[in-house]
Structures are given as C-alpha cells and as structure tokens.
Structure 1
C-alpha cells in the first residue's frame, strides 16, 4: 500500500490523560459518573466540559456527562470542538481519518456532516492537527460511556473567529439527534484563590452568553465564544453544573488549572 492516510486516528494520550486499559478505563468512568449528583434537567443541546487528565478534571467532566445518560438513545451525532495545543492551524480542522479510536473502541467520523461544511472557507482538512491533540480525545471515552451509538464530527479549532465557529455550528445544528460538545479548561497556573475569582467571573460571562472570553480565561475561548454566539441566536439557556480546579481534585493549590461544566438547553430550569 502506498503512503495513504491512515483511516483510523489512534488514541494519542491513553496512559497519560486516562487509563490505556479498556477495563480500567471503563471502571474509572463508571466510578466518576456514579459519584455525581444527577438532578433532573432539561435535555442539553450543548455542553462545555474540561479536558485535563481524568485525575484532575474527570469529576468535573463527569458531572455534565452524567446528565446525558437520560438521552443516550436520542443523540446520534456529536459535534466535538476543542482548541489545538500542539499543531498550529488556521480555521477549524477536520480529519481525513474516518474513525477515532480509544481503548473503548472506534467512533465513526460523520462523512455526511463533513461534506455539509466542506464548502466553508474556515474548514480545512488536517490529520496533523488531530494526531497529538488531547482536547477532543479525552472527551471520547465519556461519550462512549454515556451514549449508545453516535457519529463524530471532530473539529480542532485553531486561529479563527467566534463567528466562523458559530457558522459551522449553524450548518450542523440539527435537532435532538445532534449534541454539541465544547472542550475547554478555564484559567491556567494561578494560585488557588486567584483562580477561583477569575473562573467565577468567566462562569458569569458564560451564563450570560457573553461571547467575549479571551484565552487567559479559557484555552478553548474561540470554540466557547462560537457556541455562546449560536446559543444566543437559538435562545438557549446556560446552566453551570460544576466549577472547580485542580487544587480541589488533585491537591496542589499553589498553581491550579480551572475546570467548568456547563449545559445549554432550550428550556430553563428542571424538567417536570
């Protein structure tokens, strides 16, 4: 076979950000999800979840993923957007790979969805942008655990505008079958008290659907801002599910990373 593109994007950060053993990973995820309060809530159209190693941000991510379990058979397609950390890219990068692998199995990339956004100038094809990227990958085992079967639209967001992100979301917005997941951590490497103050302020902006976050407030500011623009246009209500930092989960409070979990739903308040 000649130098053709690998069709599977293999897991790059298993054994680093989360366990590489499928049995250990599955049991860790079950434990994380079981330890969350699970009040009845409206069906989320979109969520924001953090993307650090599970020992740091796993409990915060689990708090929002647990809410999806009630809709596990409804969601058929996941638009997953996260910032690029390792490879610079202009625009939003989709992979040429046709599936993403984790220790829990393979997830097919939604070719129909990619075809629907291929005409947009901000959408580029880059396996290189996806190959080492953890911001999307760490969300996949959670999604594989709380959903039944789904296709994936993986978008690695580089240098682009919130409006350009919102345009992609608009193209693929869909109905109940489509879930939007934005992967972002909040403040980075501040002392505990400062992080709490800054992350609290960031959370207020997110809850107000104010699409003007900067990258000091959230590493995924660009995809988050794009979602906030789209959420505002669609009349969604934001709700904070959890807001903590690595000082709460893994100890050291001298330099912490902030993590927030949020849902965006058509209805506000609780389902009756």
Structure 2
C-alpha cells in the first residue's frame, strides 16, 4: 500500500470495486484502490460501517446471504460485524442466511487485511463491517437488493466495497474468445475488460448486463457489481484507478485473470434521509402532513374523492419514502389507525392513503361520520426501518414498537401503546402476538420473528 500510486482526481470515495485474487497477482491493483481512502494507519474518510459485497464461488443460491456472527478474525486481529443491520436485511426474501457459503469463500476475507492496515483497531471498535455474499440475480433483483440495503442502513455512514475480478481467460476457465497469440493476448484482454469497465464507469446496469450476455465475459463478481450499479449515487464520478492481469505477473497468458480497481465518489442518496428519519421533518413539514390528512378526510366526506398536490407544492421532507401510521382519536379514545410499515412510497402519499383508510376502512370501527370530524384529533407516527430482534432484552418500553410475524400472521403495536397501557416487556410481546392472531406465548417460539422499530409521534394537539 505504501508503494501504491495515489489517485486524487475523484473526490470523496463512497464505493470501491476491488479484486480478490492472491496478493502476488492482484495485491498491487487492490492496494491502489484502497489508497483512495487512506494510507496505512491513516484513513482519509470516516465511515462507521463498511459494506462488503462479494460473489459466492462455492455455494449456489438466488439473491444474497448474510451471516450472523460477532466478528471475523485475521492474522491482524478481529473485525467486528454488524449483526443488527444484517438482521434488518432479512425482512426482504431476497436475503437469506447461508453460513456454509462463507466457510471457504475468499472474495471478502482477502480484503480485510487492507482495511485493517488503514483503520487499525477501529475495526474492532467504532467501525463495523457488513459482509454480504451475492448469488444469482437479474437486474430487477439487483435494484431491489440495492434498495433493501440502503433502507437497512439507517443512521450509518457507509463505505461500499465490491469484490470482483474481471476476465478469467484460458482453458482452465473454459473461456477463450480469441487465441493466445504472441503479445496480442494482453491487448485483447484489456480491450475486452475495458468494454465492461466503460459501462461500470457510466453506472449503466443495462449496458453492463447486455455486454456480459453478448461477450460471455467471465467476471466472477458480475452480480455484486450489478447491485453497485443500482445504488442511488448523487453527483457521482467514477474513475478506474488501476488495471492489471495475472499474465503480466507470471509472463504466461495461457491462463490469465484480469483485475481492476474502480472508485466512485459522490453521495449515497437515501441513507441520509433514513438516517435522519424521522427527526429530519421540520415543524412546517409536520403541519403540512397533518393538514393534508385532515383535508383529505374532509374531501372524501364532501366530494367522495381525495385531494391531490402538484409536486412543486410538496415540501422535500414529505417526499421521502418512509413508514408511517395515521391515528384518529375521538375524546381521547382510538377511532381508527392504519399504517404502512416499510415506507414503499413517498411519505405524503402514505399519509393520504392511511388517513382515508383510518377514517373509513379500519375494520374495528364504522366509517367516520361528518359530525364526528370536529372532535377527532389526527396523529401521525413516522417509523424507522424495522430491525429484527435477536434478544428480547433489546426491547425498551416507550422507545420501541413491535412487529410479530409467523407465516401469514402479523401484528404491530406502536411505541406509545405500551406506555399508555402500562405494560412491561413480556406483556407487550404477548399483546403483539394476540394482535397477530397468535397465542400470547408465541413470541418465545423459534418459528416467530420479532422486529422492533421507533417512531416520532406528532398530532394536531401539538400544533394548536
């Protein structure tokens, strides 16, 4: 790393694509990429989470795999893993846990000593890693995976590292798009790799996938790269930092593997929003949402249809995708409550939909009547991304709401409920099970999944 050429043309790195072969072959290329984020014992960026995506070479599966362990260990010491964020990813069925996939896999572990040289003891302290092995997926899966990862990184300052080698050429790899003739092989390999790299630099997932289909190029980390290309980067600039082949190291191109280091600079969209969620809303944003909810209910009562907004009239904070519930209270008692847990649409749309459903479609109540509206108070709860509970000791009364799931059963209780009802933790868990249509002790059984989340609640009473 000390000998690597330093590139400073890009800006602030947020994502790297790096090789994972033996250090003799790809070490210099990887070092050049790592030098964009620092030098030995001196980092130039300050992440608190490093997300590593590598291909699964030894186990076939669709989607992505996490692993629930506390740390990895290398000759340089321990590296702490983020089990909390890994468990969040399991809310998407594309993410599973295949521990056996990690047993022989080298695509992630070979990069860890580089990170340890840069960040030192921080990797066993305030910086955690999130290793993800990627199996087979199409472009739609890649985009969905990227969205799920972004949603799970609430409150994080991430660095993304994508592990991949490029063309695997020769009879050992069963790929010979051209004959190994004299000194032309190196030039032809570089031309072949450049075709793929050019699409990567443009962040063109469709072009990259089409190029793979057209050429058959043997890029082992093509699927982690697809997820990288689907990441929402704002103001990005990409640069190829280094390129090499194993043939140049051995002097023999009969069989050769290509390596490239690529750096993306810019900002990852969505993480800042989720990281601030739900505290990033201003007082004006909250008033806007509460008024929109009431006006929407009035419109349905008076005209039989909801309200709409011109996009320019909606505050930016109300366009962020985030989970929310709308609660109606009448004389202090519940009159309706409907929500969207995972925030798959802009917040304003969720508030409009949920205000209608809370007023007219909550199966526990009759539809709201016009004469009730004046004495009805509207309350909105903005949710953080649900995190899977590893131990019930994580659950804090007053801070956490719960989601209980088993099969087709799901029950949710918002954070204030336990305080209002004066429940302890076990009672909260039991009541969430009952809400899901399960026995009250179901939370103790392994087939039941528990998620916790936080909420910031604001109501019309707060703005009067």
Task: Please indicate the TM-score interval, normalised by the length of the shorter structure.
Answer: 0.7 to 0.9
Runs of 4+ aligned structure 1 residues displaced above 3 Å come to: 70-73, 172-176
Instruction: Provide Cα deviations, 1:166-218, integer angstroms capped at 9, x if missing partner.
Output: 12332245688310000000110244333111111111111111113337252
CA contact (8 A) 2:65 2:132 kept: yes
Say whether the 8 Å CA contact 1:68–1:147 is kept in structure 2. Answer: no
**What residue is the counterpart of 1:224 in the other structure?**
225
Between stretches 47-56 and 116-125, larger displacement belongs to: 116-125
What is the match of residue 37 of structure 1? 5
In structure 1, C-alpha distance between the alignment counterparts of 2:154 and 2:46, rounded to whole Å = 12
Cα offset, 1:241, TM superposition: 0.4
Equivalent residue pairs, number = 234
Structure number with larger C-alpha Rg: 2
User: How far did 1:142 drift?
Assistant: 0.8
> Using the alignment, how far apart are the partners of 1:246 and 1:168 within structure 2?
35
Q: Is the 8 A contact 2:67 2:86 kept in 1?
A: no
Q: Relative to 1, partners in 2 of residues 1:73 and 1:119: Cα closer, same or farther, differing over 3 Å?
A: same
The answer as to whether partners of 2:64 and 2:133 remain within 8 angstroms in 1 is: yes
Unaligned runs of 5+ in 2: 171-184, 268-464
**Alignment partner of 1:180: what SS?**
strand
Bigger relative CO (Cα 8 Å, ≥ 6 apart): 1
Q: What TM-score, normalized by structure 1, do the two folds share?
A: 0.79
Question: Take 1:253 and 1:176, find their aligned partners in 2: how far apart are those partners?
Answer: 43
The reply on whether 1:89 has 2:70 as its aligned counterpart is no
Matches within 5 A, 1:41-52: 41-52=10-21
- 1:155 is aligned to 132
Partner residue, 1:144? 116
- Between the aligned partners of 1:175 and 1:36, the Cα distance in structure 2 is 33
Per the TM alignment, residue 118 of structure 1 is displaced from its structure 2 partner at its CA by: 2.1
Q: 2:85 aligns with which of 98, 113, 127?
A: 113
Shift of 1:72: 5.0
For residue 244 of structure 1, give the secondary structure of its aligned residue in structure 2: strand
Q: Deviations over 1:74-113 (max 9, x none)?
A: 1221100000001112221111222111111111110221
Q: Is the 8 A contact 1:202 1:217 kept in 2?
A: no
Partner Cα separation in structure 2 for residue 220 and residue 39 of structure 1: 24
Aligned in 2, Cα 1:205/1:174: closer, same or farther, shift over 3 Å? farther
Q: Could you tell me how far apart the structure 2 residues matched to 1:247 and 1:36 are? A: 20
Name the residue aligned to 1:205. 199
What CA distance in whole angstroms lies between the structure 1 residues aligned with 2:236 and 2:85? 23
Partners of 2:228 and 2:11 in 1: CA distance: 18
Deviation at 1:242, TM superposition (A): 0.8
1:73–1:230: structure 2 CA closer, same or farther, 3 Å change rule? closer
> More deviation in 109-118 or 44-53?
109-118
- Output the aligned Cα RMSD: 2.0
2:68·2:86 contact (CA, 8 Å) conserved in 1?
no
Deviation at 1:227, TM superposition (A): 0.8
Q: Which runs of 5+ in 1 are unaligned?
A: 1-32, 268-272
Distance 1:104 1:131 in 2: 19
